[in-house]
Amino acid sequence: MWHSVYAVAVMVGAGGVLAEPPKPVAAQRQAATTMLGSGPFPFFNTTNRPAPASSLVRPVDCADHLLHGATTSGVYEIFPFTCTCGRPVFVWCDMETDGGGWTVFLNRQNQTDQPARQNMSQLNFNVTWDAYKAGFGSPYKEYYLGNELLHQMTYSRAYAVRLDMELASGGYDYATYQSFKVSSEDTRYTASLSGTRTGSSIVTYCFQYMSGRAFTTLDRDYDSYSNNCAATQGGAWWYYNCRYFNPTSTYNNTLDITCYAAGRRSVKQLQMKLRPSICDSSFKTIHLNDKNCGCE
């Protein structure tokens, strides 16, 4: 679990705050582990549910849960769409690191301690374009949220991005960028990073190589290398070339991450996560959705 740098308790509201802080939806564990093929996005709860009541709180990300008083890391429901008609997306919320409120979109290695936990990857990340578009895995373990969700989220709100790594040698390493966007599928889910950088100078190179790159999978080659990096290295990513930064590659007891020639890291656990930019006014407002999203 990532260590907290400082604690933030922000309780501002448009129409008030919840009487009790929300808790992770442990009761929805089965729904949260829904795999690819169960719907347009695998983390939807696809059971029949009524349209949301006018007073229902509909957090669009983990930062909204933080603003409502949640302080425990775990799996939460979010509603990152303008219209979802009551269907939530299940994500892991990091409520501890750097004040909390982070929506994890990539997790490598198990998120929760298991009695027989082994230091090996349990999920195949060497999958197709459509799988990465929709997202796959379980937010309780390893997962990728999905490029379509990343696009819709980062184009509806200003987000910062953070990379956290637990090193095999002990200790932690991290880096952040102030601004992160993922374009639409029509433009190959191209990543864009800008603004202030913080953290390890080595790890910030990982982000630097992502920016301006289209997403590549084993069945769609959009990298700038002569070969398909996803097919040759395993996984999929915004590749610069096949040498640098592939956080979705195969575990061999650990995950080897190279941010540049002298910046090799052997990693036990890795997370990438989003949080609204602190200076963005939308981060300071609790979002209440009193619309029924067109549902009759």
Which of 243, 250, 239, 247 shows the shortest CA–CA distance to 272?
A: 247
Question: Quick check: 53 pLDDT over 80?
Answer: no
Q: Where does the pLDDT of residue 104 fall: very low under 50, low under 70, confident under 90, or very high at 90 and above?
A: very high
Using DSSP bridges, classify how beta strands 102-108 and 89-94 pair: parallel, antiparallel or unpaired: antiparallel
**Mean pLDDT highest for which of 62-66, 187-191, 221-225?**
187-191
The ranges assigned to domains in the chain are 26-284
Question: Quick check: 96 pLDDT over 90?
Answer: yes
Question: Quick check: 81 pLDDT over 80?
Answer: no
Determine the average pLDDT of the residues in 162-172. 89
pLDDT in tens, 129-142: 999 999 999 999 99
pLDDT computed for residue 183 by the predictor: 98
Q: Where does the pLDDT of residue 262 fall: very low under 50, low under 70, confident under 90, or very high at 90 and above?
A: low
CATH fit for domain 26-284, picks 3.40.50.620, 3.90.215.10, 2.60.120.480, 3.40.50.450: 3.90.215.10
Q: Where does the pLDDT of residue 277 fall: very low under 50, low under 70, confident under 90, or very high at 90 and above?
A: confident
Q: Where does the pLDDT of residue 202 fall: very low under 50, low under 70, confident under 90, or very high at 90 and above?
A: confident
Residue where the block lists tokens 């200003």: 158
Q: Where does the pLDDT of residue 278 fall: very low under 50, low under 70, confident under 90, or very high at 90 and above?
A: low
Residue where the block lists tokens 């936990």: 117
Answer for the pair 173, 165: CB distance below 8 angstroms, yes or no: yes
Determine the average pLDDT of the residues in 109-118. 54
Q: Where does the pLDDT of residue 125 fall: very low under 50, low under 70, confident under 90, or very high at 90 and above?
A: very high
pTM score of the predicted model = 0.77
Mean pLDDT of the chain, nearest integer: 74
Question: Quick check: 102 pLDDT over 90?
Answer: yes
Determine the average pLDDT of the residues in 142-171. 93
pLDDT computed for residue 3 by the predictor: 39
Rg, C-alpha atoms of the chain: 18
Question: Quick check: 205 pLDDT over 90?
Answer: no
Question: Quick check: 9 pLDDT over 80?
Answer: no
Q: DSSP string of 212-264?
A: TPPPBBTTB--SSSSS-HHHHHSS-B--SSSSS--TTS--BSBEEEESSTT-E
